[in-house]
Amino acid sequence: MKRRALFIVILLLFVGHQVLQKGLGIHLDLLDSYLDPMLGMVLLLEAWRWEQKFLFQKTIKPLEVFVLCALSAGFFEFVLPIYHGGFTKDPADLIFYGLGGLIFLRFLNPPFQPEQIIVSG
């Protein structure tokens, strides 16, 4: 599946799940718990990839993906539940943030090409 098609499928799944859950009040426990962290991470990383590509002509390195996944998971699972009652701490979500990062790296992020170093002398 091409990158653009996969991105559209992921986006439609994410939006469709939000409509079911919040718009229509249809709750599917496992999807409600784990689909958002996984797909949300993929969408966040893809938005960041676009920003890096169009503004800086850069790709995202695997270490950067790991750091963003860790920071997002830490914020949404450990910080936000302290200040907002609508969020609950669920350490199992950490797996799905990581899985979203892996999906992004494997299927949406083009291979990293190290920048050529030009030495002028």
pLDDT in tens, 38-57: 999 999 999 999 999 999 98
Does pLDDT of 116 surpass 50?
Answer: no
pLDDT above 70 covers a percentage of the chain that reads 91
Instruction: Find all residues with CB under 8 Å of 21, minimum gap 6, and list them.
Output: 27, 28, 32
Burial class of residue 86 (count of CB atoms within 10 Å of its CB; 0-12, 13-18, 19+): exposed
* Ramachandran assignment for 113, one of left (phi > 0), alpha (psi -120 to 50 degrees), beta (any other): beta
> Rounded to an integer, what is the distance from CA 100 to the centroid of its chain?
5
Instruction: Please give the pLDDT value at position 39.
Output: 97
Predicted confidence (pLDDT) at residue 117 exceeds the cutoff of 50: no
